[in-house]
Amino acid sequence: MSKKAKILLLISGLFTLSMGLSNVFVNIFLWKKSNDFIIIAKYNLMHYIFLPASYIAAGWISKRKNGILSLRLGIGFFILFFMSILLLKNDLVKYIYPIGILYGIAAGFYWLAFQVLAFDFTSLNNRDTFNGLNGCICGVASAIAPFTGAYIIEKNQNSFGYVIVFAISLSLFVVLILISLTLHSEHYGDKLNFKTIFSKNGFEWSNYIKSTTAWGLRDVVILFLISILVYKTTGSEMALGKLSMIAYLISSGAYVLEQRLIKPKRRVFSMGLGSILMFIAVFGLFTKISYTTLVIYMILDAIFLPFFIVPVSSASFNILSRSHEEKMRTEYMINREFALNIGRIVSTSLLIIILTFVKNKRVLNYFLLFIGSSQLISLYFLKKIKTWGE
């Protein structure tokens, strides 16, 4: 891989470390202050609504200037996000909407830039390697971060541990700004093509987008739910930190294993294996939400998620390369993000509705089964793409 790709992997690892330290614990902090799933769902819903809009703004800048400027802006908005959390502290619950919006804007700028730069700095021959290594590095960072964050929180009383953790994340984002100064990219001077952003863009991309919407139903929604359920079940940040560390270490190994075992012609088999076993993992939570079933879910999901996600991560770039649409990569990434967040918005809105109006004690069990099976719908559309073996 190129030097630029390696620097991008470093940025990705540090970004994951910073977010792993704090992002889970923002949700836990809100839970401790509100004891209400709906508050946390609304906070996350703001992410998913405003993230696509910020993707368009980031895309416009990336096309007119370059992806690195959007990357720096995303990191800058994350600095503002963590500064706001440190300033608001105990009043955070009162400001879930603006804080959620700020996070969505920051994430939109960062992830659009990262995806465009990942395309620019890799090729058809090494994207699986890049995605596999990125998954491994992020897995290790994600393992270290929650455990470290939990240790700091439990050693400091009266929410001071949370302040320390959020301050460390803020410092890491300052470091990321400095590292980003070593990256350089072309100034494109192109206009954003809104027709491409809101079009189906061919048979293969259309099926990929449908699969992405289905995946969005599960995606990060299940992550914040599982984190809250682990904390609710154990009452301990350290228990969540330890479980997260074990799961992410296993996931890192699984990313390496997937990279070694799964060749291009086995991609469909890999996705099928991953999607089915992820469903089996979540079925235990449908039966009963307990510490044991949560542990089983987190371990099985950590093992088999990479077998689904690595081929899918490469698919979008490979479709663009095969159809010679590289110049429209920014528009395609925005198109994909709209699809992904439609799934997230539908899922989170449904969660808010059922928690508000349905009083059945097993409502979360049914909801987890629903979102935990969405990758099977995603697989149905992915199998229609005809170029997996190339």
pLDDT recorded at residue 326: 66
Rounded to 10 degrees, the C-alpha dihedral 377/365/297/133 comes to 40
Residue range 193-204: mean pLDDT, rounded: 81
Q: What share of the chain has pLDDT > 70, as a percent?
A: 96
Which of residues 301 and 316 earns the better pLDDT score? 301
Give the mean model confidence (pLDDT) for residues 62-83: 87
Predicted confidence at residue 121, as pLDDT, reads: 79
Residue 373 has pLDDT above 90, yes or no: yes
Residues 22, 165 contacting (CB under 8 angstroms): yes
Give pLDDT, residue 90. 80
Nearest to 285 by CA among 352, 230, 219: 230
**For residue 106, is pLDDT > 90?**
yes
pLDDT of residue 292: 93
Spatial distance between the Cα atoms of 241 and 236, rounded to a whole number of angstroms:
9
pLDDT in tens, 141-181: 888 888 899 899 888 877 788 899 999 999 999 999 999 88
Tell which wins on pLDDT, 136 or 69. Answer: 69
pLDDT in tens, 246-299: 988 888 888 888 877 777 778 888 889 999 999 999 999 999 999 999 999 999
Give whole-number Cα distances, 280 to 39, 203, 211, 262, 276, in Å: 29, 31, 20, 21, 6
pLDDT of residue 387: 65
Per-residue confidence (pLDDT) for residue 144, from 0 to 100? 87
Which band of pLDDT confidence, cut at 50, 70 and 90, is reported for residue 324? low
Query: Does residue 124 register a pLDDT over 70?
Result: no
Q: What is the mean pLDDT of the chain?
A: 87
**Percentage of residues in the chain having pLDDT higher than 90:** 42
What is the pLDDT, as a whole number, of residue 130? 82
Give the torsion sign (CA, 278, 284, 286, 288). Answer: negative
Q: Check residue 105 and give its pLDDT.
A: 95
Higher-confidence position of 333 and 347: 347
Confidence (pLDDT) at 190: 73
Candidate from 85-99, 108-122, 216-230 with smallest mean pLDDT: 108-122
What pLDDT sits at residue 187? 61
pLDDT at 286: 93
Q: Which pLDDT band holds residue 186 (cuts at 50, 70, 90)? A: low
How does residue 325 score in pLDDT terms, banded at 50, 70 and 90? Answer: low
pLDDT above 80 for 345:
yes
* pLDDT tier at 378, thresholds 50, 70, 90: very high
Residue 193: band (very low, low, confident or very high) from pLDDT cuts 50, 70, 90: confident
DSSP 192: P
How many whole angstroms separate alpha carbon 294 and alpha carbon 278?
A: 13
Whole-angstrom distance, CA of residue 51 vs CA of residue 53: 5
160-169 burial, b for 16+ CB within 10 Å, e for fewer? ebbbbbbebb
Q: What is the pLDDT of residue 390?
A: 55
Distance CA 11, CA 8 (A): 5
| pLDDT score at 346 | 96
- Which residue from 22, 301, 247, 256 is spatially nearest to 135, judged by alpha carbons? 256
Q: Convert the pLDDT of each residue in 22-56 to its tens digit.
A: 888 888 889 988 889 999 999 999 999 999 889 89
Mean pLDDT confidence for 326-336: 81
Provide mean pLDDT across the span 221-239: 91
Using alpha carbons, list the distances in angstroms from residue 71 to 11, 105, 116, 149, 273: 10, 12, 10, 25, 34
Q: What global pTM score does this model have?
A: 0.88
